[in-house]
Structure 1
Amino acid sequence: MAKSTATYWNTLSPENRTRWTPVEGLEGMAEELTLSIDPVSGEYTRLTRFLPQADTSLFGAKAHDYPEEVFIVSGRLYDQAFDRWLETGHYASRPPGELHGPFKTDIGCVVLEISFPNRAQSDGIA
């Protein structure tokens, strides 16, 4: 099966505000909007919006056993694992197991994530 498809629509338009849902555990700090998903492989494309002053320090850094790509669409986000501010236009292709976060932002940030859970490694990374 392939990833879901959609016709053109403006994900950042105010009339689509209700399509965003709080990220579980980060309510009041981050929201997400799944753009496309393959229910069989688990591959997905998602936007994550970190609200101004969000800080995920309490949750620590994380890694997962599959590769993902991230692109900063707008704003800026500090990634403590890299001791670096990621700003509009920054891109990374993360290999399985790469530590990232925790994150914080002063002005807010929108991140495009393309994740490939079907390419997971079985080495116990959570």
Structure 2
Amino acid sequence: MPIEKEHKEFYTVDLGSNWETPPGYPSGIKQQILAGSLDEKAKRGTRTRHLRFEPGVHTTAPFKHDYWEEVYLVSGDLTVGNDAQGNGGVSYGPNTFACRPPDTPHGPFKSENGCLLLEIHYYDETGTQS
């Protein structure tokens, strides 16, 4: 089954509106859906989103999901692998990228000064994972 995503031509993205905290995330992390949708129950679809960390926000435990994830750090700083209190880890700056297969543990994450990520999430078109 082909991936379903709406056709959108170039338009100015309003970085000041349509942000929401994704389920299970701390309040200082918000997403802005740019295109598509991901149906995690049916294990299908694709989603392109911005993910924004406010300064000082951190997650406390690694996690994984059953879809592919591509992440591009547009601006700010992102630390990967901090502990539950937000200490330690490896810090990355703008123009860094990650591509994770399904079921890959990743995180926790923090941002000292805040950051903006561009993420693409999708299920394998064949219906099987990795």
TM-score (norm 2): 0.76
SS at match of 1:56: coil
Do 1:30 and 1:54's aligned partners in 2 also have CA atoms closer than 8 Å? Answer: yes
* Structure 1, 2-11 or 64-73: larger mean CA deviation: 2-11
Cα distance, 1:38 vs structure 2 = 4.9
As a proportion of its length, which structure holds more helix?
1
Mean Cα displacement is larger for which, 98-107 or 111-120? 111-120
Q: In 2, distance between residues paired with 1:117 and 1:74?
A: 26
Identical counterparts, % of pairs: 32
| Structural mapping, 1:1-126, within 5 Å | 2-11=4-13, 13=14, 16-38=15-37, 41-57=44-60, 60-80=61-81, 83-118=89-124, 121=129
Which runs of no fewer than 5 residues in structure 2 stay unpaired? Answer: 83-88
Number of residue pairs matched by the alignment: 116
**Alpha-carbon deviations, 1:46-88, whole Å to 9, x = none?**
110011111111xx1111122211000110111107x321210
Counterpart CA distance in 2 for 1:39 and 1:96 is 14
- 1:107: Cα distance to partner? 0.4
- The letter for the 1-side match of 2:12 is N
SS of the residue corresponding to residue 17 of structure 1 reads coil
SS at match of 1:19: coil
Letter of the 1:94 counterpart: R
Structure 1 unaligned regions, length at least 5: none
CA RMSD of aligned residues (A): 2.4
